[in-house]
């Protein structure tokens, strides 16, 4: 039939959660988010781009990071805003960035 038993599905989902690629969205574990890359990995890619281009101590809007012409060839171009925020929060915890509020929305300053 091509169907996995529920027990097997739960084992797979738990393994994804342990690796940081799955996050449960509810307590009853019926909804989840599967992530191709963990937020920390996205943050690392973003910071590598910032460093490679000499853009530390620069401020960007979230839009510029994921939709701007400068990032068109980068893997994080087009990244969902919720995942972008998680990636930037990971960088903020490492003291490599600070999420800031701008007049027209949110932005980030890289250190």
pLDDT single digits (tens) 31-78: 999 999 999 999 999 999 999 999 999 999 999 999 999 999 999 999
Superfamily (CATH) of domain 1-36: "Winged helix" DNA-binding domain. Chain C. Domain 1 (1.10.10.570)
Residues 65 and 10: their CA atoms lie apart, in Å, by: 36
pLDDT at res. 63: 94
Q: How many CA atoms lie within 13 A of 108 on its CB side?
A: 26
Q: pTM of the entire structure?
A: 0.83
Write the class of the CATH domain 39-110.
mainly alpha
Domain range annotation of the chain? 1-36, 39-110
Q: Which helix (H) or strand (E) holds 109?
A: strand 105-110
Residues facing 102 on adjacent strands: 105
């Amino acid at each position: 039939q091509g169907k996995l038993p529920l027990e097997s599905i739960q084992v797979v989902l738990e393994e994804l959660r342990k690796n940081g690629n799955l996050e449960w969205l509810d307590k009853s574990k019926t909804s989840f988010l599967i992530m191709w890359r963990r937020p920390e990995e996205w943050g690392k890619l973003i910071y590598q781009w910032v460093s490679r281009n000499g853009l530390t101590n620069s401020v960007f809007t979230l839009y510029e990071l994921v939709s701007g012409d400068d990032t068109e060839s980068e893997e994080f171009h087009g990244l969902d805003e919720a995942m972008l925020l998680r990636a930037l929060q990971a960088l903020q915890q490492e003291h490599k960035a600070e999420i800031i509020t701008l007049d027209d929305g949110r932005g980030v300053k890289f250190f």
